[in-house]
Structure 1
Amino acid sequence: MSGVAAQDGPAEPDAIRPPGDAVAMAAISGIPYDALTARPLRGRSLLLRTFRAILPFLVIAAVWQTASLFTKPYLFPGLGSIAKSFWTILTTWDLLSQGLVTWLRLIVAVSASLVIGIPIGLAMGLSATCDELLRPVVKFIMGVPALNWVIIVIIWLSTTELRIGFVLIVLCTPVTVFCVYDGVRSIDRKLTDMVLAFGANPFQHIRLLLWPYVQASAFTAAKLNVGNAVRTVIVAELVGAPLGIGKELDLAKNVFDMPTVLAWTIFLVMMALIMTQGIEYAEQRMLRWRGVSHGRI
């Protein structure tokens, strides 16, 4: 019929055509896009990221299991024996309680490092005099190895918990100090001038400008200190602690029980991951103004 353009095939319904801006955003963000539904394939992307995260561990497990077939059990134990030892830890209260004691020490140490380190870092960031006086001391403390602190506290202190707590706090606090210090120093001078130009008093200056930066830096320090504390607590517990994962590792080492050593290692890593995930969750809840993507590592 005249006046009607001929069509080679059925027209694509407008409802299933992805808008151009959505396709462009999908290309920029890297999220796969379904052209039929005009919706990002978040589920498929999540599965792909999960698979990529798990794949290296599957390869390591396969290599480890292969090595266990050609070596002695105390060198490369099979995955089955490691899993059995790990299950024994989870189902035996005497063993699980040792892990919970270490976990409690980690939580207390990381929390104490924030309570002590935030005011020091804030003072160093706001006062040039405090910076000149405290920076050399904090750097010196940070430069002392963990084992040296363990030896020092054995001579200084007689209580095991005080020894372990002191070592953890003295190693974690400098990280908090410098994270907060860098956060304060990174504040744009124009923002400070703007807040003061609107007549903000010192309390409002801290609450409206400084505290958000301090919060962000404190969460970063907490996540860093989880790793520091996990690596340090075992060294501290190995030297005379009657309770904790360090004591269990020492017992397993004496009898060449490699499956138990690896099972406790996995337990420690899981503790660190849970703590880090909890900190990230709190960070996303308290720092919503930064956006969700900034709360992830």
Structure 2
Amino acid sequence: MAGPARAGLVSRWASLLMGWWLPLLTLVAWESAVQWGWVRAHVLPAPSEVAQTLWSFGVQGLAAHLLASTGRVLAGYAAGAALGVGLGALVGLSRRSQAVLDPSFQALRAIPSLAWVPLLLLWLGIDEAPKIVLIAIGAFFPVYLGVASGFRDVDRKLVEVARMYRLPRLALVQRVLLPAALPSVFTGLRNGLSLAWMFMVAAELIAATKGLGYLLTDGRETGRADIVLAAIVLLAVLGKITDTAMQWLERRLLAWRDTYDNTGGRG
């Protein structure tokens, strides 16, 4: 392995290991505070008790909750992100579309997630449809904003150079506008994925019998703080896993970028 490549690999592993220090120190301090009586266990159960709660669900029981929530998030995110990419590109590339659509979308974006719940229940009942639609709503707006701003913020000089070469409209979009907008597009996709997990919790308040949102509700109603914390930990882990996957895809598709990487060099 060449010297620069090896140095880059070592740097990535060092950054990965550094990212574990804060969670590990937090867990140690949390466990110690409970064991030494600084915090009451029924208010904030120790990490060891949360781990025991997760173990008590069993492989099949825990998998059922994880699969239910993950399936809803993936379905809702796919629908919301696809719509966000399409409408975001339309608004970003057309001033007329921006004038017609953007004010309405900005108004709808301000509506809290729980405000949609009673309306979706009236329209779609209590099955899976309202849950997936609510998650799609949460994913749509960050993706839409990222795509629209990505196209609108392309450097004018790049467009002028492309026009000097008489590129057709389609070629201009494919070869200039889209590559320049991709960083903002991926930022929107990652933010949309994060909000999809958040909206999933609200979605699973709609007559769910499985899922992490259901566990949060069940823990609250039964006074089980350990179940609530277990669900929160699982949400954090799943959110991190999916965001890391999106990050990996972003690095692969945008490997051509020559940008500052916070390590004193270029990346």
TM-score between both structures, scaled by the size of structure 1: 0.78
Map residues 121-132 of structure 1 onto 2, 5 A cutoff. 121-132=88-99
1:268, distance to aligned residue in structure 2 (A): 1.0
- Paired with 1:171 and 1:210, the residues of 2 have a C-alpha distance of 26
1:180, distance to aligned residue in structure 2 (A): 0.9
Aligned pairs, number: 256
Out of 61, 65, 82, the residue aligned to residue 31 of structure 2 is 65
Q: Which of 61-70 and 91-100 deviates more?
A: 61-70
Identify the residue that residue 264 of structure 2 maps to in structure 1: none
Please give the secondary structure, in 2, of the residue aligned with 1:264: helix
- Paired with 1:41 and 1:96, the residues of 2 have a C-alpha distance of 37
Identify the residue that residue 21 of structure 2 maps to in structure 1: 55
Out of 212, 230, 238, the residue aligned to residue 263 of structure 1 is 230
Q: 1:48 to 1:285 in 2, by over 3 A?
A: closer
Tell me, yes or no, if the aligned pair for 1:110 and 1:222 is still in contact at 8 Å.
no
- Paired with 1:181 and 1:163, the residues of 2 have a C-alpha distance of 27
CA RMSD of aligned residues (A): 2.5
1:143, distance to aligned residue in structure 2 (A): 0.2
Q: Which amino acid in structure 1 is aligned with residue 236 of structure 2?
A: V
Q: 1:48 to 1:208 in 2, by over 3 A?
A: closer
Identify the residue that residue 53 of structure 2 maps to in structure 1: 85
Q: 1:47 to 1:186 in 2, by over 3 A?
A: closer
- Paired with 1:42 and 1:221, the residues of 2 have a C-alpha distance of 28
- Paired with 1:68 and 1:256, the residues of 2 have a C-alpha distance of 18
Identify the residue that residue 94 of structure 1 maps to in structure 2: 61
Identify the residue that residue 158 of structure 1 maps to in structure 2: 125
Please give the secondary structure, in 2, of the residue aligned with 1:219: helix
- Paired with 1:232 and 1:154, the residues of 2 have a C-alpha distance of 15
Unaligned runs of 5+ in 1: 1-21, 27-38
Identify the residue that residue 208 of structure 2 maps to in structure 1: 241
Any idea what the Cα deviations from partners look like across 1:19-47, whole Å, max 9, x if unmatched? Answer: xxx9xxx9xxxxxxxxxxxx95974x567
Q: 1:213 to 1:82 in 2, by over 3 A?
A: same
1:293, distance to aligned residue in structure 2 (A): 6.5
- Paired with 1:98 and 1:154, the residues of 2 have a C-alpha distance of 22
Tell me, yes or no, if the aligned pair for 1:109 and 1:165 is still in contact at 8 Å.
yes
- Paired with 2:137 and 2:112, the residues of 1 have a C-alpha distance of 11
Could you say which structure has the greater relative contact order, defined with CA pairs below 8 angstroms and 6 or more residues apart? 2
Please give the secondary structure, in 2, of the residue aligned with 1:289: coil
Any idea what the Cα deviations from partners look like across 1:215-240, whole Å, max 9, x if unmatched? Answer: 33322112111221111111110231
Q: Which of 163-172 and 141-150 deviates more?
A: 163-172
Out of 167, 171, 180, the residue aligned to residue 200 of structure 1 is 167
Find the structure with the greater CA-based Rg. Answer: 1
- Paired with 2:13 and 2:120, the residues of 1 have a C-alpha distance of 48
Q: Which amino acid in structure 2 is aligned with residue 200 of structure 1?
A: L
Unaligned runs of 5+ in 2: 262-267
Identity %, equivalent residues? 22
